[in-house]
Amino acid sequence: MNITVYLGAYEGNDPSLRSAVEALGTWIGRSGNCLVYGGSKSGLMGVLAKSVISAGGNAIGVEPAFFVAEELQYDELTELIVTKDMSERKAKMIELGDAFIALPGGTGTLEEISEIMSKISLRHLDALCILYNHKGFYDGLKQLLGAMRERGLSNADRQKGIIFADSIDDVIRRLEYGQKAV
């Protein structure tokens, strides 16, 4: 399975997040699955790629040309796909993905996972969409989705497939067993 992961180009200030990213990367590398991600060597993105590669796995980076020109790509990837811009990058990452995970990140992570959530809601994509809610990071988004349901702007059926996981173990269970994982 190709697991597309969206996450920060910064590492943040909580060391436990780095440990969680390393644990996920190690699992991806050892499980025979393949990482698809933004291709960067910086921040949590670099931590994830390094942990996948170190565990013997495959990692595909999808990096826009302007980031490659700045030499931000992780050089030890299994494959680096260079796109002309961010829009092409997002489309390629969706095309390659079988499951999608958002780890804590910035506005780019939010934009990318929002598109996945929309595609799942419209049934243009049949895949898991997992938000790793590290220490409540995505609580606000979870509340917003609830408010959409409460106000009749969305419903549970439309949001089926959008999953919040509070631990990396839960993320992994969801990937192994699909939405029915406990």
Quick check: is 118 in a domain? yes
Note the pLDDT tens digit of each residue in 157-174. 999 989 999 999 999 999
Q: CATH number for the domain including 157? A: 3.40.50.450
pLDDT score of 179 more than 90: no
Domain residues for 33?
2-177
Instruction: Give the integer Cα–Cα distance in Å for 28 and 47.
Output: 13
Q: pTM here? A: 0.94
pLDDT at 107 over 80: yes
Within a domain: 182: no
**In 1-155, which ranges are continuous DSSP H helix?**
15-31, 43-54, 65-69, 86-96, 107-121, 139-150
Confidence of residue 33 (pLDDT cuts 50, 70, 90): very high
Supply the pLDDT for residue 144.
Answer: 97
- Counted domains in the chain: 1
Predicted confidence band at 177 (pLDDT cuts at 50, 70, 90)? confident
Instruction: Assess whether pLDDT exceeds 50 at residue 181.
Output: no
Examine residue 136 and state whether it is found in any structural domain, yes or no.
yes
pLDDT band of residue 73 (cuts 50, 70, 90) is confident
Residue 125 CB: number of other CB atoms within 10 A? 17
